[in-house]
Amino acid sequence: MAKEKKLVESITSMSEDFAQWYTDVVKKAELVEYSNVRGCMIIRPNGYAIWENIQKELDRRFKETGVENVYMPMFIPESLLQKEKDHVEGFAPEVAWVTQGGLETLPERLCVRPTSETLFCDFYSRIIQSHRDLPKLYNQWCSVVRWEKTTRPFLRSAEFLWQEGHTAHATEEEAEARTIQMLNVYADFCEEELAIPVIKGRKTDKEKFAGAHSTYTIEALMHDGKALQSGTSHNFGDGFAKAFDIQYSDSQNQLQYVHQTSWGMSTRIIGALIMVHGDDSGLKLPPRIAPVQAMVIPISQRKEGVMEKAASLRDVLKEAGIRVKLDDSDKSPGWKFSEQEMRGIPIRVEIGPKDMEQNQAVIVRRDTREKLVVSLDELAEKAKEILDCIQKDMLARAKEHLKEHTYVARDYEEFKKIVAEKPGFVKMMWCGDEACELKIKEDTTATSRCMPFEQEQITDVCPVCGKPAKTMVYWGKAY
């Protein structure tokens, strides 16, 4: 028994040390293993299967909007990266360089892509000539490299997986519409699949992407009250087009610059899944994204007929379209329960000799631990209902948490007190001056998360400087 409890006992509790809890879950749920390369992670099957489901669903949603996938080289010649000034300055501190190929020193060093705007721009300058070539709606699934000083699995790593969409349009309006459209794709995906509510808005100039005209973001709130930027969508205007000479002839045969966008979501979102839903027993996955939705666990599995019955329940659930596994290992039921909970599998189905006598099984919800006795005649139907219910309840709980941890500040003293004492988002007006934004960061370490689309007029002046307020901002400490 002592050995059985070990799996859970070795997790630090969230309230004691949230950062350590996160690291423990990532390790114990077997999502990630550390590698020999500093800051790079090995994503294990349990973690990669989550990413595959994210990828599958996002990809489906992208394609519904007309996006096509391509694949670009992973190296960028230095001269290409230098073409857009703000962009190169923004990324220079974290770029990895290749200076040698085989035994030869390269005539021009190559950067390992930190993001691929420059490659797409170069590509577009070759393939776009006429208005008939527009729009171009391309996306790629790949990994990128950013030489980060401090790293944490999923949240910040030297190499990570993501998708980056890059589009080119004839007009400014079209580009802006696409930027918002993709932000909405991300927001809907987070709510509907990951049960993570997000705040949609625009980044301040200080926080926007290097080289972008405007950056839009979805911000989620983690269990510890810190924000996580979960997806971004940028409108580049014609800045990159001018730097890379991407022109098309319009219907009057006049040369025009294209307007571009880019948008991305990465394996970081798995960090959000862990930190929004998890608890002291481990991961809690929303059913729609969970690689395994139900684990069948036999009780007294050596008793006659139990294992066969458990296997038949697995088959029934599988037949009904549920992603199900049977734990037929020789571990004890208690150990199997802990493992299923640690991995965040939404339901387990317990079946033993007594249940068989009564033609029933016990379904246990991972999110609430509620036990539900279900007749075997309607097992699949009930399991589906319960999974739907878990998905809804998880979103509702996350929304409640977001609401409870969003505060309003009317003056700067109040703001500082909230940031110091109550982790979460703080809504406060802002004059639009970067000096005030910097002062807030210096005084409190909170940063502007976004200027939300849903605006409120809390005060008429900026509480930091007293000048007229221009916009309401969500502020918070962030990952």
**Least Å from the CB of residue 460 to Zn ion:** 12
**Least Å from the CB of residue 202 to Zn ion:** 18
Q: Say if strands 136-145 and 68-69 run parallel, antiparallel, or are unpaired.
A: parallel
Cβ neighbours of residue 348 closer than 8 Å, sequence gap 6 or more: 294, 295, 296, 297, 337, 340, 363, 364, 366
Dihedral sign, Cα of residue 179, residue 183, residue 186, residue 189? negative
Is the Cβ of residue 275 or residue 464 nearer to Zn ion in the bound state? 464
Is the Cβ of residue 19 or residue 461 nearer to Zn ion in the bound state? 461
Is the Cβ of residue 371 or residue 410 nearer to Zn ion in the bound state? 410
**Least Å from the CB of residue 414 to Zn ion:** 15
**Least Å from the CB of residue 443 to Zn ion:** 13
Instruction: Tell me if residue 421 falls in helix, strand or coil.
Output: helix
- Between the alpha carbon of residue 432 and those of residues 242, 453, 468, the distances in Å are 28, 16, 9
Is the Cβ of residue 165 or residue 452 nearer to Zn ion in the bound state? 452
Nearest to 294 by CA among 347, 249, 333, 242: 347
Q: Say if strands 406-408 and 371-375 run parallel, antiparallel, or are unpaired.
A: unpaired
Is the Cβ of residue 110 or residue 462 nearer to Zn ion in the bound state? 462
C-alpha 35/C-alpha 470 separation (Å) is: 47
**Least Å from the CB of residue 439 to Zn ion:** 8
C-alpha 53/C-alpha 48 separation (Å) is: 9
**Least Å from the CB of residue 437 to Zn ion:** 8
C-alpha 266/C-alpha 148 separation (Å) is: 16
C-alpha 78/C-alpha 110 separation (Å) is: 6
Is the Cβ–Cβ distance between 465 and 425 less than 8 Å? no
Instruction: Tell me if residue 439 falls in helix, strand or coil.
Output: helix
**Least Å from the CB of residue 341 to Zn ion:** 48
Q: What is the DSSP letter of 156?
A: B
Q: Which amino acid makes up residue 46?
A: N
Sort 141 into a burial class: Cβ within 10 Å, 0-12 / 13-18 / 19+: middle
Q: Which stretches of the chain bind Zn ion, using CB under 5 A?
A: 431, 433, 436, 462, 464-465
**Least Å from the CB of residue 463 to Zn ion:** 8
Is the Cβ–Cβ distance between 464 and 440 less than 8 Å? yes
Is the Cβ of residue 160 or residue 415 nearer to Zn ion in the bound state? 415
Residue 376: count other Cβ atoms within 10 Å of its Cβ.
18
**Least Å from the CB of residue 86 to Zn ion:** 24
Is the Cβ of residue 414 or residue 433 nearer to Zn ion in the bound state? 433
Structure tokens at 398: 């996350």
Is the Cβ of residue 24 or residue 437 nearer to Zn ion in the bound state? 437
Is the Cβ of residue 170 or residue 462 nearer to Zn ion in the bound state? 462
